A and B are shown apart, each in its own frame.
Chain A
Amino acid sequence: MTPDTIDIKYVAKLARIALTDEEIERFSKELGDLLGHVNALAELDTASVAATAQVVESRNVWRDDAERPCLDREIVLSAAPQRQGSFFRVPRIIAE
């Protein structure tokens, strides 16, 4: 199937998680072991098998494009780590 290794630093970058050196070492081993286990799936002949995303039959759901009540802005903003007036405040994302 695929090698039992995982490039933890690269994956952590994709997942937006800062890892310590100790975590990099630990997760590389633990997740390498896990990949060894999941590679058992290579034994299955799945060439002609359809993929299942959802087991119970479902269909697209539409609703009217109409105004409805929603959460109060003050309640939503009160959960923000930082706010400025009626906005979420975040670090600068575009350089000057």
Chain B
Amino acid sequence: MNPLIDRTAAEIARDVNAGSASAAEIAAATLERVAGVDGEVGSYLTVLHDQARAYAARVDERVRGGERLPLAGVPLAVKDNMCLEGTRTTCGSKILEHWVAPYTATAVARLIEAGAVPVGKANCDEFAMGSSCENSALGVTRNPYDLRRVPGGSSGGSAAAVAAYEAAIGMGSDTGGSIREPGAFCNLVGFKPTYGRVSRYGLIAFASSLDQIGPLTRTVEDAALAYDAMAGYDPMDATSVDRAVESTAPALRADLRGLRVGLVREFATDALGEATDELYRNAYRDLANLGAELVDVSLPTAKYGLATYYLIAPAECSSNLSRFDGVRYGLRVDGNDVREMYDNTRAAGFGPEVKRRILIGTHALSSGYYDAYYVRAQKARTLIAGDFERAFAQCDLIACPAASCPAFEFAAKSDPYSMYLMDYYTIPMSLAGLPALSVPCGWVTPEGGAVPMPIGLQLCAPLFGERLLLGAAHAYERATDHASVRRPELAKVGA
């Protein structure tokens, strides 16, 4: 690999701002890396050869003009459910396979403004519904640490791209765990900010009360830089929060003194297997060694998170995805009348998981079932959020697993519900809107596996606690440095 891109986002930006490397060189090296490894990894659905060079030239021009850009020349993977003007934006779906976005999502535009250079649109589970990227209708993405395993999902393409050094920052979206789980599976920091912190304008909607954009990076510092650039109120998203964003990059800490970290009684790790259990116990001990006071907290209704989520998210998805009707954009499959045209278009355009979620959501919202399903789930959501509020009266942060296992092999979760269980630990935070991230906490060789795979520690803060969350994660990362233990072995090409 070209040493220019064997760097963190922070280091690349420093190099480009200092003039010791140009954004054009970084972009060329990244595109070369993509050409070398993406045949194996499959991170990208679309590689932005010309646009990447054009964005990079613009960054070099700005730096020459005296500007200092927080993400100068940093190669960026954009999840393919986010719009970038003039690029194909597919959501991993046949229904949008040939759709070209006419405008740019606010979060993407802000990263570009900060100097980032988009190099590709990254694969994802169709409409961000899934936990392995296997639900993409348009491509297969493999885990760079073991190509027989999934990268996680739904932001699996962005995660694989960053893990394989095909980008330094990956943009993901997280509805029930879609940034944190692939982050854990690919040895990355996967950070979901507080709901409403990052504008959803230009993010193709899945479940609007849960969707949130965030970064996947190789270090906490990079996650902080990306967040600082993308967060903040946007008049184009009425649910984005109109509240000042304090930058997180200066708040990175060296220790956890004075912090109380809550360990969730209901999330005991002894059922996750001896090796994994030991890694989490070590992680909690490391938090204590850094000065944190560990306290026991309870989230008694968190176990209802999955049931709550699988009513609310599909209900919102069934409404959001009604716009794909073959009239104004995307696929159209003709029929004898307009009704048949809708039916045929959606039958051919959506894959099985999207159909399942639209059907269950339509059922949950239909006359006679609305109160029993949708309203009851909304009430359960209140209880789950209340549990967190009570827990945060006793602690400053919560620590727990990011996922119940490391990355699994392809086709290992053929039953839909077994796939849904992958988000068991991440969904409760999503329902409560809380900021949460996964940070590498060790390696475990899965049963039947050939090589050790990474696992992630999830940290969660109260609403708008991003500074505290990233600051603490940085201290943990610096003290343990699990991520640096291994690198993906993709050396045969593009090395």
Contacts and interface: CB of A to CB of B under 8 A. Distances in A.
B362 A76 contact: no
Interface in A21-35: 23, 27, 30-31, 33-35
Contacts of A90: 327, 338, 341
Of the listed residues A38, A46, A71, A93, the one surrounded by the most CB atoms of chain B closer than 10 A to its CB is: A38
B392 interface: no
Given A15-B318, A41-B308, A81-B331, A51 B379 contact: yes
Given A44-B301, A50-B382, A30 B356 contact: yes
B332 A81 contact: yes
Interface string B452-492: 00000000000100000000000000000000000000000
Given A17-B355, A49-B382, A49-B383, A91 B334 contact: yes
B267 interface: no
A79 B382 contact: no
Contacts of B431: 55
A18 B332 contact: no
Contact of B337 (A11, A27, A53, A91): A91
A37 B102 contact: no
B304 interface: yes
Interface stretch (B5-13, B56-64, B156-164, B343-351): B343-351
Nearest to B197: A56
Interface in B411-450: 416-417, 431-433
Contacts of B358: 15, 17
A49 B372 CA distance: 14
A70 B362 CA distance: 32
A38 B209 contact: no
Contact of B417 (A27, A37, A92): A37
A2 interface: yes
Interface residues of A, number: 52
B139 interface: no
Given A34-B310, A54-B209, A82 B332 contact: yes
Question: What interface size band does chain B fall in?
Answer: 35 or more
B291 interface: no
B310 A38 contact: yes
A53 B312 CA distance: 9
A66 interface: no
Contact of A61 (B238, B325, B329): B238
A83 B261 CA distance: 59
B48 interface: no
Contact of B196 (A30, A38, A42, A56): A56
Contacts of A40: 304, 307
Contacts of A34: 310, 356, 360, 416-417
8 contacts: A2-B372, A11-B362, A17-B346, A18-B347, A30-B416, A31-B360, A51-B378, A54-B239
Given A16-B346, A19-B347, A58-B196, 12 more contacts: A1-B372, A15-B318, A16-B325, A17-B346, A27-B356, A37-B417, A50-B379, A51-B381, A55-B195, A56-B195, A81-B331, A92-B338
Interface of A: 1-2, 6, 8, 11-12, 14-19, 23, 27, 30-31, 33-35, 37-44, 46, 49-56, 58, 61, 63, 71-72, 75-76, 79-82, 88, 90-93
- Which A-B residue pairs are the 3 nearest by beta carbons? A55-B433, A81-B332, A51-B378
